[in-house]
Chains A and B, each alone.
Chain A
Amino acid sequence: MNVEDIVRDALREQAAEQASAGPGFADRVLAARRRRRVRGLACAAAATAAVVGVAVAVPLLDFGKDDVRPADVVQRDEINAHTDQSPPRELVSVGDTVLAAYYIPRTVEHSAQRAERVRDYWLLDPKTETYEKATKWSYVAIAPGLKTAAVLERDLPVSRIGLLDLDTGKIRTWIQVDHEVAGLAFSRDGLKLVATTYDENPDQLVKMQGSESWDQKQPSSRTGFYVLDAVSGKGSWSEVKVDSDTDDPMGGGFLNARQDFSMSPDGRHVWAGNPMGDVGKQFYDLTGAEVAIPANQKYLEWYVDAWQSPSGRLVAGQFAGEKWKTSSWVLDARTGEKTEVHGQQLLAWVGDQSLIAWDIAADSKDEFRQRLVKVTIGSDKIVPLSGFLKGNDGAAGRWEPVFAER
């Protein structure tokens, strides 16, 4: 017997001792894949508009004025809920966190092999406090303050970005860009606008050979990002190449076709999810050079829309489901210590203690029949805010919220 023999025997003995993977392993993999990719379409606009810092002075985006409000403005407790409306017709808000818009995604078939996932937006009219359909736009990001939206026209990607005055419904400025844009996100202070550039429409769908269902087109055509001054429109473009995956025998890394960039919660970096990466996200400086993930942002998940709490102390996390049938984790931004909070999917912070979430009714067995609710850390009180969504995930008629702080 030599060393090779004993190594062979030791490996076989160890392998033989292993119990099987268990009956639910395939479902675990399918669920992991869903978590990593399906939120791509919905993520960017809602996530970026969702939080606005209150620990520092927050200049409101209001052209021509230097309108700065004190950061520690007391959170209003007022709740505007319409539990009989889905999608809502009238204002939904909790304190300063407002449902500023929503969109309904639908699939438009261009041919037997090609289709497009498009969004139809409804924007909050601040005068009537109702949601009005805005058919012209394929993508909308709402700036904190609710005075301005950045919009893209149909047929993505496009070569100009509109800055829409939400009071008048008119475009105040068009920003012309050299690299075509398909995604937008404001910084949490509303002063910067990050635009993600693509060579092709990231929302196009194709049919794989032998498949009857639509799938996103791979590989992603993402090319980089602009960081623009949200008032002047001035800024620069940075190229970010899509990584190739050296582990993948067929080459090429996996990035969602739409994998938009956003400004990090502290406004120092630009970041994006990287679903197949080791840590699931990548951070860049404003010139496009990749940087280490900041210590207090390492628990951020790009597909959990609420991101970091206004003070930066807490981070909204994934589904938990331990104490209650539907619940989520809230993590200490530095230590990762977890606290369970009600809510199936955390969408936006209301101060540092409460969040707006999707959740199902207590007696419901249908995981897709969700409504907007307010939940609070350390409390069992769940306040319904909207009517229930209908249909399954991806079905027609389901709406996606876009939050902003007023």
Chain B
Amino acid sequence: MDAEAQDRFREFVENRSSSLLKTAVLLTGGDRHAAEDLLQNALVKALNRWQRIDEPEAYVRQILYRQQISRWRLKWRRRELSVAELPEAAAGSDGVAAADLRLLTRGALTRLTARQRTVLVLRYFEDLPEADVARILGCSVGTVRSTTHRSLARLRAIAPELGALGPAAGESQPSRDFSPVEVRP
């Protein structure tokens, strides 16, 4: 790798690492240290192909998503179980303020599997359509739909206060897709 390519890489990291790190933090359920590791690993991979990558950000993001789902799944599971307890719910779900609900949701997100959390981050943080999520993760649209549905249901099970909210569009129709939900072998 020549000096010019290194400069381009440094410039890319300087401009985009904050945005990429935000995504990585969400993928790891709020574990900043794990997120930096995740991003560092993805950037090292990108470096190995730096001169052949046309769109580095898209490339790095794709590695982030896939890496989080497949190879690091077992490693993160241990972390997921060790996160802080959910905040105490307010007295009644009707009275729970939006800020408390967001906090509850963040706590509940840490207790999803890496796969479930990644699909939610792609759908609701990155605002990607199901077809794009499927393409990025290398699975069917049906799998994205069913994983989204199950993930939201699981959030409700973890934080019953969310049950008082209206049904999500993704939940209005039960999935008829029976393909395996495992995204990668």
Please list the residues of chain A having a beta carbon within 8 angstroms of any beta carbon in chain B.
Answer: 1-16, 18, 20-21, 23, 25-30, 32-33, 36, 208-213, 215, 218, 245-250, 254, 276, 278
Contact = CB atoms under 8 A, between A and B. Distances in A.
A18 B32 contact: yes
23 contacts: A4-B124, A4-B170, A6-B162, A7-B105, A7-B152, A9-B98, A10-B106, A11-B121, A14-B106, A20-B17, A20-B21, A21-B17, A29-B13, A29-B43, A30-B6, A33-B47, A215-B1, A246-B70, A246-B185, A247-B45, A247-B63, A247-B70, A276-B41
Contact of B40 (A18, A29, A250, A254): A29
B44 interface: yes
B162 A254 contact: no
Nearest to B1: A213
B30 interface: yes
Interface in B94-111: 98, 101-103, 105-106, 109
B14 interface: yes
Q: Which one of A11, A13, A33, A278 has the greatest number of beta carbons of chain B within 10 Å? A: A11
A293 B23 CA distance: 32
Given A26-B13, A215-B1, A11 B48 contact: no
B71 A278 contact: yes
A248 B63 CA distance: 6
B162 A276 contact: no
Contacts of B52: 208-209, 250
B169 interface: yes
B49 interface: yes
Interface string B123-136: 01101000000000
Label chain B's interface by main secondary structure: helix
A15 B22 contact: yes
Contacts of A14: 25-26, 30, 106
Contacts of A28: 40
A380 B136 CA distance: 53
B48 A254 contact: yes
B113 interface: no
Interface in B125-171: 125, 127, 152, 155-156, 162, 165-171
A3 B59 contact: no
A246 B41 CA distance: 14
Contacts of B44: 29, 32-33, 36, 276
A28 B43 CA distance: 10
A9 B103 CA distance: 10
A15 B156 contact: no
Contact of A4 (B98, B101, B169, B185): B169
A4 B168 contact: yes
B102 A9 contact: yes
Contact of B66 (A18, A210, A215, A246): A246
B73 to A, nearest CB: 10
Nearest to B43: A29
A211 B51 contact: yes
A18 B67 contact: no
Contacts of A218: 48
Interface residues of B, number: 64
A9 B121 CA distance: 11
Contact of B23 (A15, A16, A27): A15
Given A20-B21, A29-B47, 13 more contacts: A1-B165, A2-B166, A3-B152, A3-B162, A12-B125, A14-B26, A15-B26, A26-B17, A27-B10, A209-B51, A247-B66, A247-B70, A248-B63
A211 B49 CA distance: 12
A29 B9 CA distance: 10
A15 B22 CA distance: 5
B155 A211 contact: no
B88 interface: no
Nearest to B66: A247
B48 A33 contact: yes
B51 A7 contact: no
Given A29-B43, A213-B2, A248-B45, A3 B72 contact: no
Contact of A254 (B45, B109, B152, B171): B45
B119 to A, nearest CB: 11
Nearest to A249: B62
Nearest to B117: A11
6 closest A-B pairs by beta carbon, nearest first, are A26-B13, A10-B105, A15-B22, A21-B17, A20-B18, A2-B166
A20 B25 CA distance: 11
Contacts of B120: 7, 11
B51 A21 contact: no
A383 B66 CA distance: 49
A32 B5 contact: no
Nearest to B46: A29
Contacts of A245: 45
A196 B79 CA distance: 38
Nearest to A213: B2
A258 to B, nearest CB: 15
B184 interface: yes
Given A3-B162, A29-B13, A13 B70 contact: no
B114 interface: no
A6 B40 contact: no
